[in-house]
Amino acid sequence: MLKNIPEVLSPELLKVLCEMGHSDRLVISDGNFPAESIGKDAIVIRCDGHGILEILDAILQLFPLDTYVENPVNLMEVMPGDNIETPIWDKYKDIIRKYDDRGEELVDNIERFQFYNEAKKAYLIIATSEKALYANIMLQKGVVIK
């Protein structure tokens, strides 16, 4: 066991987060996301029984967001015609503000099928049991400066 490591982060997930380099991206997906088919060329780690909020909070304690791009955080945009509310997005922004002074200005939305295409290039996809719709979030790794 280690101290100060969020317990929701498994040894396997910690290892992969460490392996990621600057500009690599990860997706934390909701329960409806096709993680295995989109992630054919990525590492897919299942976090069944966990929601995105707890995983996002744990990861951002360790994971720097890229400072060389305008939007290192991207959300899957709601499709026109879908009458879906996304209150979870506000919770994401609250978590991001805890760990990055730039806050919600880091966040952008990507059209659903563009999000899928970008996710195919991700280094890591974390599949959760999140039930909220349009809850998928993509993070781009930055540099640790100290």
pLDDT per position as a tens digit, 16-26: 999 999 999 99
pLDDT value for 145: 83
Domains and CATH numbers, the chain: 11-140 (3.40.1650.10)
**Checking phi first, is residue 87 left (phi over 0); if not, alpha (psi -120 to 50) or beta?**
alpha
CA atoms lying within 13 Å on the CB side of residue 117: 5
Token duo for residue 56: 């996002």
pLDDT per position as a tens digit, 113-132: 999 999 999 999 999 999 99
pLDDT value for 123: 98
**Band of pLDDT at residue 10, cut at 50, 70 and 90:** very high
**Positions marked active-site:** 22, 66, 116
pTM of the model: 0.96
Q: Look at residue 30 and tell me whether its pLDDT is greater than 80.
A: yes
Rounded to an integer, the average pLDDT of 104-114 is 97
Rounded to an integer, the average pLDDT of 11-19 is 97
Euclidean distance between CA atoms 86 and 19, whole angstroms = 32
Pairing of strands 137-140, 73-76: antiparallel
Euclidean distance between CA atoms 129 and 52, whole angstroms = 8
pLDDT value for 115: 98
Q: Look at residue 146 and tell me whether its pLDDT is greater than 80.
A: no
pLDDT value for 86: 97
Euclidean distance between CA atoms 61 and 8, whole angstroms = 12
pLDDT per position as a tens digit, 55-102: 999 999 999 999 999 999 999 999 999 999 999 999 999 999 999 999
pLDDT value for 2: 81
For residue 52, CA distances in Å to 3, 49, 69, 81, 124 come to: 23, 10, 23, 25, 15
